[in-house]
Structure 1
Amino acid sequence: MARTGRAVIAHGQTFEVREYPVPDPEPGTILLRQELSGICGTDLHNWQKGIPGEMLLGHENVGIIEALGQQVKTDYVGRPLREGDRVIFAPGTPHGAYGFQRDPDRPPHFRGGFADYIYLCYPDTCVLKTDLPPEIAVLTEPFTVGVHAVMRGRVQLGDTVVVQGSGAIGLVTLVCARLSGAAKIIMVGGPARRLELARRMGADVTINIEEIPSVEERTERVLAETPRGAGADVVFECAGFLPAIPEGLGFVRHSGTFVEVGHFVDMGSLDFNPNQLLMRRNLRLEAIWGSRPEHFVRGLPLLERNEFPFAEMVSHILPLERVADGFAALNGTYRLGDETAIKIAVRGGQAG
């Protein structure tokens, strides 16, 4: 009898666990036992809008090689691969994306991380071997977004930086800015538990939006922490909420840089005055679209140095059947039970 594995299928705002046959890897492919898959803000935003049709989500993944297809000998940078190796992979490829699998009932199955297995079947998938524990390795994909954002923002030694949003993307962008030489980093976000971790990861100043709900007062607080009160050299919008954009533009100094990171999903439009917020201040406006294999190759060795409390970012690990609880927490109070949710990951029950 053929092996089967479970996958969580999203439709609208509901989730259903289904069983599928586990494929034997074709030449050039890899079958992984899923260890952890993070719930990303992109997943949340898609779910908030209502998933059209059916989709297997989960693009922040780490797994153990269950079986290698013929011709697979090395990872993306040339290191030998064997069954039992732990690997991470870039979800985007020239031929498709893992974690956004539509029509999941049609083979090949398991092209997303909210499942017991992950089938790396797209040609040119960037796979990298790692010895990191899974609780840190699962952060690789979001970490590469921070790498991409800071590279595009051109953070320089001695810069003053503001990061809006204290979720996983904001925290890793904070770390990447620190590694790139930022002298002072101001984190604007919440709740308090996330900001406490932000300070331990290198934030010099934290501003809690729950305690200071006024945009005007937050702006005054941010500007007061910048040289001569003139604003930050670089501001990263990682919150993914439309009102954060005009607010963040108000944090930037004349001729500074604003980098949009948080709107991978279309969450609508907003009105703002380009003359006042952009032109008169001579700003450089950047935006990034996820990350590419280059950012995985650059970012993974930095993550592997483990110089920051990365493991504490994964606040909750849920079984597959509790995926809905994770989405509900991130959609509301950012709390599961009595604990603040930072990064929520899903574990496949057969990946042990």
Structure 2
Amino acid sequence: MKAAVWYGEKDIRVEDRDLKEIGDHELKVKIAWTGICGSDLHEYQHGPIFIPVDGPDPLTGGQAPVTLGHEFAGIVEEIGSKVTNFQMGDRITVYPMITKGIKSSKEDVFDGFGTLGLHVDGGFADYAIVPEKNAYLLPATMSLEEGALVEPTAVAVQAIKEANLVIGDSVAVFGSGPIGLLTIMAARTAGATNIIALDVSETRLEKALQAGATHIINSAEVNPVEEIKKICPEGVDIAFEVAGVEPTFKQAIESTKIRGLVMIVSIFSKSIDWNPFDLTNSGVRIMASLAYEPVTFQQTINLIDSGQLEAKKIITDHIEIDDIVEKGFESLINDKSQAKILVKLSGDM
């Protein structure tokens, strides 16, 4: 089968690859669509970050070279001998997190994890082998294309839940890439009033308005903290850091009201320099959200299916797997009008 395989930094190869045999509790999935995630982009530009290269991953047994892709949906083509909840022909999306499963759901993902498409072969391929427990049935009214958007949308939904956002809260979202746009949508669904989107790309800021932002700020043209304080003089209740760079991290703290919250949703590819005294002076709290609980994943499916989260709005392109490097990864690096690029495998809807 054809697959996009990570070998190292700036080294992703589309090649023929064998599919491992299906296990008793596994599904063979014919993949329809797979989204390119920011973490995939980080691995392409700066990896290895998550991908195991020095030995097998302790949870998944996977090791580079690895087939990328953890935002995917498809159709069950074969089931293992002990699978009970799925049958051939079922349309599914995939919860890609593999955890120890020892602690409570709120702690589980922080206790060590692996990911389909990073720690073991994933969804940039014609087929994938998926554990039954990682498969989620899609409603009949939901497309496979939308199914490929459940994973990134669940990241945003979990961040909103972790932040305890309530009706009437004001928020600033630093970064209007795919997760930033989805965070804006989720904040609006949760009842936020002033939703301020920040980015250095006018195109992305226009997308932020379409996603539900009430205000946009181009951080390259004005002082973002001053502009936020014009809208919310005391600062915002919650700032979501979705850019993953030092300036936006510091701006998020400065833009948040006394005893407000900064929620880190991004992946930082390198360390940053900041003074914790900034928190001492303001009482601002910092939290970080990693991935999502299984219950959040199912809630996200329901929110997309009901139309409360219009995740399809973030799609900016559909490409073939043979073009994944130039029209996918390189395009996301060089063209800031791009948000979510879906890679077509079978293209089933």
TM-score range, shorter chain: 0.7 to 0.9
Matched with 1:128 is 137
Report the alpha carbon displacement of residue 308 of structure 1 after superposing the two structures with TM: 4.8
SS of the residue aligned with 1:250? helix
Matched with 1:181 is 191
Question: Aligned equivalents of 2:206 and 2:299: distance in 1?
Answer: 27
Map 1:325-336 onto structure 2 (within 5 A): 325=326, 326-334=328-336
Q: Size of the alignment, in residue pairs?
A: 319
Q: Give the aligned residue type for 1:219.
A: V
Question: Aligned equivalents of 2:144 and 2:245: distance in 1?
Answer: 29
Matched with 1:11 is 7
1:253 counterpart = 2:257: yes
One of 94, 97, 104 as aligned partner of 2:99: 94
Question: Aligned equivalents of 2:305 and 2:299: distance in 1?
Answer: 11
The answer to whether the 8 Å contact 1:320/1:349 transfers is: no
Q: Give unmatched runs, 5+ long, in structure 2.
A: 54-63, 101-113
Indicate the larger mover: 9-18 or 20-29. 20-29
Q: Give the aligned residue type for 2:167.
A: L
Question: Aligned equivalents of 2:74 and 2:143: distance in 1?
Answer: 11
Question: Aligned equivalents of 2:276 and 2:147: distance in 1?
Answer: 40
Question: Aligned equivalents of 2:119 and 2:31: distance in 1?
Answer: 16
TM-score (normalizing by structure 2)? 0.85
Matched with 1:337 is none
Report the alpha carbon displacement of residue 139 of structure 1 after superposing the two structures with TM: 1.1
SS of the residue aligned with 1:115? coil
Indicate the larger mover: 287-296 or 194-203. 194-203
Which contiguous aligned blocks of 4+ residues in structure 1 show a shift greater than 4 angstroms? Answer: 349-352
Q: Give unmatched runs, 5+ long, in structure 1.
A: 75-80, 103-110, 335-339
1:68 counterpart = 2:79: yes
Q: Give the aligned residue type for 2:187.
A: A
Matched with 1:58 is 69
Q: Give the aligned residue type for 1:25.
A: I
Q: CA RMSD in A?
A: 2.0
Change (3 A) 1:350 1:189: closer
In the TM superposition, what whole-angstrom CA distance separates every residue of 1:5-27 from its partner, at most 9, and x where no partner exists? 11111222122122233455332
Q: Give the aligned residue type for 1:7.
A: A
Question: Aligned equivalents of 1:346 and 1:204: distance in 2?
Answer: 31
Report the alpha carbon displacement of residue 281 of structure 1 after superposing the two structures with TM: 0.5
The answer to whether the 8 Å contact 1:200/1:309 transfers is: no
Matched with 1:105 is none
Q: Give the aligned residue type for 2:7.
A: H
Matched with 2:160 is 150
Map 1:268-283 onto structure 2 (within 5 A): 268-275=270-277, 277-283=278-284
Change (3 A) 1:201 1:350: closer
In the TM superposition, what whole-angstrom CA distance separates every residue of 1:148-170 from its partner, at most 9, and x where no partner exists? 11111111111111111111111
The answer to whether the 8 Å contact 1:126/1:293 transfers is: no
Q: Give the aligned residue type for 1:234.
A: I
The answer to whether the 8 Å contact 2:35/2:343 transfers is: yes
TM-score (normalizing by structure 1)? 0.85
SS of the residue aligned with 1:255? strand
Percent identity between matched residues is 29
SS of the residue aligned with 1:243? helix
Change (3 A) 1:98 1:130: farther
Map 1:220-231 onto structure 2 (within 5 A): 220-226=226-232, 229-231=233-235
1:235 counterpart = 2:239: yes
In the TM superposition, what whole-angstrom CA distance separates every residue of 1:105-129 from its partner, at most 9, and x where no partner exists? xxxxxx31111111104x6425333
Report the alpha carbon displacement of residue 73 of structure 1 after superposing the two structures with TM: 2.7
Question: Aligned equivalents of 1:47 and 1:24: distance in 2?
Answer: 28
Question: Aligned equivalents of 1:270 and 1:94: distance in 2?
Answer: 28
Question: Aligned equivalents of 1:225 and 1:151: distance in 2?
Answer: 24
